[in-house]
Amino acid sequence: MDINSPIVALQKNVDQFCESFEKKYSKEMTCKKGCSACCHQDLSVFPIEADVIRQWFQNQPDNLKSELIATWKLDQATGADTSGHPAQPCSFLYKNACTIYAARPMICRSQGVALKWVENESPQYDVCPLNFTDGDFDKQDALDIDRLQTLQSIAQVSTKATSERVKLSQIKQELGQKNS
């Protein structure tokens, strides 16, 4: 994926937003390397994000591709979601670490920060229940998820590709089969 593509630029903007949010609220944030409570679900992504993952994988050295494929074939232990309920981990999560971290989708990049969306003409807010247990965030600091999804849709349309979302488990299976 061209580093100047709309989706890569959007990912960089989201990363910067999240870094600023995490810095401002560092005392309230428990999200950090090794925390994977948000990562226990089979997410779907826009096709353009699937393409970013595919291209990232193809750009890796052959030995790393082989290591990733071998890791992806390992059994994954059932973990717990943010509510503490047993759940299967993301297809790319192993030992509480993301194996595609550099190419992770937008939803993964924004995990942990406060999110805002509009439902029935009323603003709604959510944040990982592991964060902000002793305080709250300024509502103006929340990531506007409706706006983000609109920008993702625009980036997707610019590719003239299908708009049908792709499950991460499907991408992992595809990469493992093509490169075995």
Helix (H, G, I), strand (E, B) or coil at 72: helix
Q: What is the C-alpha to C-alpha distance for residues 34 and 157, in angstroms, rounded to an integer?
A: 35
| Residue 81, pLDDT above cutoff 70 | no
Mean pLDDT of 42-55: 90
Residue 151 CB partners (closer than 8 Å, separation 6+): 6, 10
Name the least confident of 53-67, 93-107, 148-162.
148-162
The residues pairing with 126 across neighbouring beta strands, listed in sequence order, are 115
* Long-range contacts, stretch 134-143, CB < 8 angstroms, 24+ apart: 134/28, 135/27, 135/28, 137/25, 137/28, 139/114, 141/21, 141/24, 141/25, 141/114, 142/113, 142/114, 142/115, 142/116, 143/14, 143/17, 143/18, 143/21, 143/110, 143/113, 143/114, 143/115, 143/116
Q: What is the C-alpha to C-alpha distance for residues 72 and 60, in angstroms, rounded to an integer?
A: 15
Read off the pLDDT band of 12 (50, 70, 90).
Answer: very high
Q: How many percent of the chain have pLDDT more than 90?
A: 53
Q: What mean pLDDT, rounded, does the chain reach?
A: 87
| Residue 77, pLDDT above cutoff 80 | no
Q: What is the C-alpha to C-alpha distance for residues 172 and 180, in angstroms, rounded to an integer?
A: 12
